[in-house]
Amino acid sequence: MSKLAETSGRDQRPKAEIRRPKEIRNPKSEGRNTGSLIDPGFGLRTFFGLRPSTFGLQFVCIVFLALATCFVGCGKQAGYKPQPLPDDLPKRFDAQRAWRDLERVVSFGPRPSGSEALAHTATYIVEQLRATTMEVEEQTFRTNTPRGPITFKNIIARTRPGCPPRLIIGGHYDTKWFPDFRFVGANDGGSSTAALLELARALDKQPVDAWLVWFDGEECIKTYEDGDGLFGSMYFARTLHGQKRLREVQAMILLDMVGDRNFRLTLPKPYPLEQHLTKKTFEAAYAVGLRNFVSLLPTAIYDDHIPFLLNRVEAVNLIDYDYGNLPGQNNFWHTERDTLERCAPESLGIAGQIALELIRRVAMEKWPRD
């Protein structure tokens, strides 16, 4: 990978050259989600730990039974049999509609975290989601960054309200901040935003427990390292951990940089918690006749799936990390050349079909596993 020119706002190292945190080098694959490698920083008060009165005990029992009924209906209990998703689900991804979403998002201009342009993007995402039957949540938080405190906003869409986050399908919608040139991030930030919107439409009213998440703050302010970058996904995972809900997550599927006109997925070098979904991705691509568009990258990538791997959640990063006119150089990444002219609706369609077939296959697997 080539290094980009070092300026006041540019990265000193590309994502793929950055070593993952120590815990990721050989993560434990046993005892899924029995613990977390992320310090949650906060916790929830244990309601059942309080000493209730007789009336309170009755109330607790009613609440418990109601929750149990909800979860049985949502598919997390023992004996749950997943309902098959339609065989033609991948064909329901409308690449032209996703392209129109991408055009609209890019029209807002550079969209770094905390900017007015990103606020407009968030409004557009929510407006599109309101046209579906999904439950929409805006998860706002404020934290310190190398550029000072910034308010971030993740956007969450649940296929079935109140259901567990069995499948998390995510991507970032922010663009990196560059003070020395105009960066609209058509591929890096824009394509994942558009692809997720069309995935949401395809999954609307389908019998699957999935949370689609548009992460804010994926881009680092200065360099990709601890405390810089992945702000939204870290907060999201930390919140689930605090709610003791990470154990409900079967898989995390990430989309990033999926609009390149010369599209080809370069799945990062799979570590143990990525191997199953990486294999499933190849199988999914083969099933929809798109196997030639998937390959393996010899290196790891520091991206929004990392907080989930750190929490022992299986994950896969559907990314095309060869974006440019020099093979293997990724020389359009984080430059002013990341524009609509270098993206294509056909690329969004390929990524969308593979993602939907992967979702369809993972949703049919037994969960929780024995």
Please state the rounded mean pLDDT for residues 59-87. 52
Does residue 340 share a domain with residue 327? yes
Please state the rounded mean pLDDT for residues 192-217. 98
Please state the rounded mean pLDDT for residues 288-303. 96
**Final residue before a domain boundary, out of 38, 59, 81:** 81
For position 279, what pLDDT does the model report?
Answer: 97
Does residue 97 share a domain with residue 58? no
Residue 81 CB-half CA count within 13 A: 0
Q: Is residue 353 part of a domain?
A: yes
Number of domains within the chain: 2
Q: Is residue 215 part of a domain?
A: yes
Q: Name, in order, each residue with C-beta under 8 angstroms of 173's C-beta and a sequence gap of 6 or more.
A: 105, 111, 118, 121, 122, 125, 155, 189, 192, 193, 214, 215, 216
Does residue 176 share a domain with residue 77? no
- pLDDT of 365 > 70? The answer is yes
pLDDT in tens, 11-56: 444 455 443 433 333 333 333 343 334 333 322 222 223 323 333 4
Does residue 329 share a domain with residue 310? yes
Where residue 217 falls (left for φ over 0; alpha for ψ -120 to 50; beta otherwise) is: left
Q: Is residue 304 part of a domain?
A: yes
**Final residue before a domain boundary, out of 81, 100, 128:** 81
Does residue 160 share a domain with residue 75? no
How far is residue 139's CA from residue 122's CA, in Å, rounded to a whole number? 11
Q: Is residue 186 part of a domain?
A: yes
Of the pLDDT bands very low, low, confident and very high (cuts 50, 70, 90), residue 5 is very low
For position 276, what pLDDT does the model report?
Answer: 97
Q: Is residue 14 part of a domain?
A: no
pLDDT in tens, 117-167: 999 999 999 999 999 999 999 999 999 999 999 999 999 999 998 889 999
More confident site: 364 or 51:
364
Does residue 199 share a domain with residue 54? no
For position 328, what pLDDT does the model report?
Answer: 87
Of the pLDDT bands very low, low, confident and very high (cuts 50, 70, 90), residue 74 is low
Of the pLDDT bands very low, low, confident and very high (cuts 50, 70, 90), residue 9 is very low
> What is the percent of the chain with per-residue pLDDT over 70, rounded to a whole number?
78
- DSSP SS3 for 65: helix
Please state the rounded mean pLDDT for residues 262-286. 96
Q: Is residue 8 part of a domain?
A: no
Of 78-87, 99-108, 199-208, 216-225, minimum mean pLDDT range: 78-87
Does residue 139 share a domain with residue 111? yes
For position 91, what pLDDT does the model report?
Answer: 97
Does residue 180 share a domain with residue 62? no
Of the pLDDT bands very low, low, confident and very high (cuts 50, 70, 90), residue 277 is very high
Does residue 252 share a domain with residue 152? yes
For position 162, what pLDDT does the model report?
Answer: 87
Does residue 350 share a domain with residue 284? yes
- DSSP SS3 for 321: coil
Continuous segment of H or E residues that includes residue 67: helix 54-74
For position 12, what pLDDT does the model report?
Answer: 40
Q: What is the CATH number of the domain that holds 187?
A: 3.40.630.10
* DSSP per-residue string spanning 78-133: TT--PPPPPTTGGGG--HHHHHHHHHHHHHT----TT-HHHHHHHHHHHHHHHTSS
Please state the rounded mean pLDDT for residues 225-245. 94
Does residue 103 share a domain with residue 59? no
Q: Is residue 100 part of a domain?
A: yes
* DSSP per-residue string spanning 254-308: EEES--BSS--EEEPPPPHHHHHHHHHHHHHHHHTT-GGGEEE-SS---STTHHH
> Rounded to two decimals, what is the model's pTM?
0.82
pLDDT in tens, 253-272: 999 999 999 999 999 999 89
Residue 341: which domain range? 84-363
For position 39, what pLDDT does the model report?
Answer: 35
Does residue 113 share a domain with residue 217? yes
Q: Is residue 9 part of a domain?
A: no
